[in-house]
Chains A and B, each alone.
Chain A
Amino acid sequence: MFGYTVHRLLVMIPTLLAISLIVFIIIQLPPGDYLSTYMAELQAQGEAVNPQKLAYLREMYGLDRPAWQQYLYWVWGLLHGDMGYSFAYNLPVTQVVGDRLWLTFIVSVTCILFTWVVAFPIGIYSATHQYSWSDYGLTFLGFVGLATPNFLLALVMLYLANTWLGISIGGLMDDRFIDAPWSLAKFWSVLAHLWIPVIVIGTSGTAGMIRRLRANLLDELQKQYVVTARAKGLSPFRTLMKYPLRMSLNPFIADIGTLLPHVISGSAIVSVVLSLPTTGPMLLDALRAQDMYLAGSFLMCMALLTVLGVFLSDLALAALDPRIRLGAGSAK
């Protein structure tokens, strides 16, 4: 177990280096750099841009250097915990990301909880009542949730919430609470705004989870140990909770790996539509403006979380399911 852990941790280093290289190359791929975005923005506002000034800015931001030097400079900074400097915000990246991370965290965790709270009972119910009318009905609802484009649902709900309930459009709180210290009123305002993104982001996830839980559970329910348990007189509910449900949980634990980065990246498109102060829209803007250190460092954080998440979920799986042996593949 210990050897396996060390091995996995060591493998992360080349993985992350490879990711950083790919991230950097992809960010650099589109023609131009941040300054061409900046120039376009100035021109759109009717300002003349002096080419010499651009050359000077390019030198100041280090954009005139060859790409490999920029890459090394960036990676070297990352190793020291320096995420670099955001051109567009004129601030160090850590400060730009700052409190957005926190709000993203709130939204994402609530979404995950919502998904689980809704999906588990429905999934179990449809599996145990397979091919009944209620199974069809719930499955249908799930598919509708999966098939409705998130952004459309978001717009419709925004409009309804505003006209019926008077909730301000977009954002995570009323404007007057931004930057205000936390208070009961602010908390309430956040709750009043939170349910829309949670439902919108949650519905698509819910449908997927219902389907998977139902399928896994159906597999298990057919098995002989279930029949044996029932034959021995165990109550149907206890049987279900104690054996097949546990067996069908493996995929969810494996999911933790992708869950971790999701918690900080949020759902970009929905966040843009709902104008949420989370990290998704920030990342999108940074990529579009080629604000490369902001985009790059943020993507690296997500990569790190993904790698860690996969590692943790592997460990958790091993701990929960004795049938899984660590390093079985490599020991062959």
Chain B
Amino acid sequence: MIRALPVMLALAALLVGGQAQALNYIETPALADDVAAGRLPPIAERVPAEPAIETGRPGQPGGELRVLIGSARDTRLLAIIGYARLMAYTPSYDLVPDMLAGVDQKEQRIYTLHLRPGHRWSDGEPFTAEDFRYWWEDVANNEMLSPTGPPVALLREGEKPKVEVLDPLTVRYSWSAPMPTFLALLANASPITIYRPAHYLKQFHAKYADKAKLAALVADAHARNWAQLHNRMDNPVRNDNPDLPTLDPWVLKTKPPSERFVFERNPFYYRVDREGRQLPYIDRINAAVADSKIIPVKVGAGEADLQSRYLRFDNYTFLKAGEARNGYRVRLWKTGYGSQLALYPNLNVNDPVWRSLLRDVRFRRALSLAIDRHEINNVVYYGLAHEGQDTMLPGSPLYDEHNSTAWAAYDPAGARRLLDELGLTKRNGEGIRLLPDGRPLQIVVETAGTVAEEGDVLELIRDNWREVGIKLFAKPLQIELMHNRIFGGETMMSIDRGLENGLANAEMSPAVLAPTLQASWQWPRWGQYFETHGMSGEAPDMPMATELMNLARDWMNASDFEARQSIWKRMLAIRADRVLTIGLVAEVPQPVVVSDQLRNVPEQGIYNFDPGAFFGVYKPDRFWFVPEAPADQPS
């Protein structure tokens, strides 16, 4: 396959917000019949007056993309990888306007959003500032629909933004203090959607709908009240209502439940290629439901044109074997997790002896030093992974080799020395060290099986730790049960994926490095304390934690890039030096199966949820099929 990919990616990075040139639009073949019959307006009236222009090499429209999903709930994935956002990340993670024609910001606190004139919902109704007003006033601030108020992420220390509609195409969000995260929130893989199709949803809203009609709709749907019905109909993230107008490249056409979901092209999509063809190129997406365990087998039999979800690294050889026979290629993309697997010592564990031990940085360092990461890499990942702590990856501008290697070298002697220093010198007959109260030093690591190879990795760590006199037990649990045990302080240590985003830059929020989330397994109680504004959980009572909290707050208030960057670096340095999580290996390749007929899928990509939205940053609306594809289904 010959292609000028690097050039195209560079162009793609430049494309958004390009000047509208006098484009001669070319009608989409799949829609030509509808246009001729008058069911759809011609292309020039369907795209916005100033469409977003894709400057990469043009492809050809048509074809059906087959993908496999694990359950009907996965229709949400299409909303993620479709990646039509007000703001969007480029493949190099720069934040640029996408659906917006532009955005003006002042002092990082006043944001004026400009819509594209003539931009329409998938049902042809105009997309205007009214849709933003409807969401803010009638959904986010409606007590029935959102009893908890607008999303917390939009609040700045409890303060709601001021939302103004300046004219039908201009909306302004403003806060009294800097809110640097606002634009990034709009670009997330699962974004805060600050607009809704008002013209459609008003029929379910008590403020607008006719009372009798609404009552009938509520009764028909077996809903408890209108609010429940409204919320059920209005779920752009879940993407399970075929009637809900959308701005995504493909629109759900199948009403659940089904074993196969069909998505068809959005005839009013806002992007065109540089020759004037409306995107997306692909007419239809066919998402068949199969059990997640059988998906790799089906993919290996050539039943998907583009698949990454439910494929694991250990499927690689099997998939590779079917390449020639079934006309696809397996590509290995790098994953963006800070660590494929990390151990989380629970600093909030209930047991007082264990709590003081786990809170001692020397103990955490000893545990980390005693692990032979090179062995894990070679035994489980064929040596293809990156060994080191759970921190930024080499692809991030914030990467620092010191952080990655801090306390990560295999040094059992050093580990023993640290453990001796802690006074854990007594041993039982088995050679296991004893805790101060005489119990043996047995660490129970709870695992929920998020990552398939957890068991194998723990087996290797068990041998490593045994050598320094620590016994490890792996305890597999149902994921919900594990969460509850962690929140309740019963879990001593857990194993899970590392940092969600190992490719951050200084413009992204570092809040996850501070105790702000209950879902950070190393300090669930502190995170809960922050999330609930002190209603439950525990206040952080270690200087390190308070310092991280202060740094996260400083980041919000920082006025320039340098300040934000230095705060990030400081936080990462603390994290690495204090070994808050014990990272193992990162950048484990993700197999991505791509049909030989499919073009524009990068050979080398980064597979990450946020930022990245899996394929989202590579804009799947520009993927296209070589037309003579024998694998194409006749439509």
Residues in A lying within 8 Å of B, measured CB to CB: 30-32, 36-37, 39-41, 43-53, 56, 60, 82, 85, 88-92, 95-96, 98, 158-159, 162, 168-171, 175-176, 178-179, 272-275, 277, 281, 285
Contact = CB atoms under 8 A, between A and B. Distances in A.
Contacts of A162: 301
Given A32-B484, A176-B633, A47 B190 contact: yes
B290 A285 contact: no
Given A36-B483, A46-B500, A170-B298, A281 B450 contact: no
B73 A46 contact: no
B259 A158 contact: no
Given A46-B189, A56-B147, A275-B290, 18 more contacts: A44-B479, A46-B500, A46-B610, A50-B148, A50-B151, A51-B536, A88-B73, A89-B257, A90-B238, A90-B256, A91-B256, A159-B297, A168-B303, A170-B290, A175-B286, A176-B286, A178-B259, A277-B289
B532 A51 contact: yes
A92 B260 CA distance: 19
B102 to A, nearest CB: 28
5 A-B pairs with the lowest CB-CB distances in the bound complex, closest first? A178-B260, A52-B148, A275-B291, A36-B480, A175-B288
B483 A39 contact: yes
B609 A46 contact: yes
B254 interface: yes
A88 B478 CA distance: 18
B519 A32 contact: no
Nearest to B610: A46
Interface string B374-402: 00000000000000000000000000000
Contacts of B633: 176
Most interface-central of B151, B259, B288, B479 (chain A CB within 10 A) = B259
8 contacts: A43-B483, A44-B450, A44-B479, A168-B303, A169-B298, A169-B303, A170-B290, A171-B288
Interface centre among A39, A43, A85, A90 (most CB of B within 10 A): A90
A98 B257 contact: yes
A273 B484 CA distance: 30
A168 B519 CA distance: 40
Nearest to B536: A51
B290 A171 contact: yes
A275 B294 contact: yes
Contacts of A46: 189-190, 500, 609-610
B4 interface: no
Contacts of B148: 50, 52-53, 56
A40 B519 CA distance: 10
Interface string B493-526: 0000000100000000000000001110000000
Given A40-B480, A85-B222, A169-B303, A175 B610 contact: no
Nearest to B326: A162
Contacts of A274: 294
B531 interface: yes
Among B478, B500, B610, the one with the most A-chain Cβ atoms within 10 Å of its Cβ is B478
A180 to B, nearest CB: 9
A170 B294 contact: yes
A48 B290 contact: no
Contacts of A91: 256-257
Contacts, number: 118
- The dominant DSSP class at the B interface is loop
Interface in B227-263: 228, 232, 238, 240, 254, 256-260, 262
Contacts of A275: 290-291, 294, 298
B484 A31 contact: yes
Contacts of B189: 46
Interface in B595-635: 609-610, 633
B297 A179 contact: no
Given A31-B484, A43-B519, A277 B256 contact: no
Contacts of B531: 48, 50-51
B480 A90 contact: no
B207 interface: no
Contact of A169 (B66, B297, B479, B483): B297
B72 A89 contact: yes
Interface of B: 66, 71-73, 147-148, 151-153, 189-190, 222, 224, 228, 232, 238, 240, 254, 256-260, 262, 286, 288-291, 293-294, 297-298, 301, 303, 450, 478-481, 483-484, 500, 517-519, 528, 531-532, 536, 609-610, 633
Nearest to A166: B301
B239 to A, nearest CB: 11
A53 B149 CA distance: 9
A238 B552 CA distance: 90
A77 B307 CA distance: 42
A53 B151 CA distance: 9
B190 A281 contact: no
B519 A48 contact: yes
Contacts of A41: 73
B301 A40 contact: no
A273 B222 contact: no
B257 A170 contact: no
A45 B298 contact: no
A32 B257 CA distance: 26
A175 B254 contact: no
Contacts of B257: 89, 91, 95-96, 98
Contacts of A168: 298, 301, 303
A52 B535 CA distance: 11
Contacts of B286: 175-176
B148 to A, nearest CB: 4
B500 A169 contact: no
A179 B288 CA distance: 11
B622 to A, nearest CB: 25
Given A31-B484, A176-B633, A178-B260, A158 B303 contact: no
Nearest to B260: A178
Nearest to A167: B301
Contacts of B517: 48
B377 to A, nearest CB: 24
Nearest to A53: B148
B240 to A, nearest CB: 6
A30 B480 CA distance: 10
B475 to A, nearest CB: 15
A90 B232 contact: yes
Contacts of A49: 519
A159 B536 CA distance: 53
A170 B262 CA distance: 19
B224 A92 contact: no
A170 B294 CA distance: 8
B291 A273 contact: yes
Contact of A40 (B290, B479, B536): B479
Select the residue from A37, A88, A176 with max chain B CB neighbours within 10 A: A176
Contacts of B152: 48, 50
B294 A92 contact: no
B545 to A, nearest CB: 19
A158 B293 CA distance: 13
Nearest to B223: A85
Contacts of B297: 158-159, 169-170
Contact of A179 (B151, B260, B303): B260
A39 B531 CA distance: 15
B402 to A, nearest CB: 27
A60 B532 CA distance: 20
A217 B317 CA distance: 52
Contacts of B610: 46
B484 A36 contact: yes
B481 A31 contact: yes
B187 to A, nearest CB: 14
A300 B68 CA distance: 32
Contacts of B66: 175
Contacts of B224: 60
Contacts of B479: 40, 44
Nearest to A176: B633
A273 B294 CA distance: 7
Nearest to A89: B257
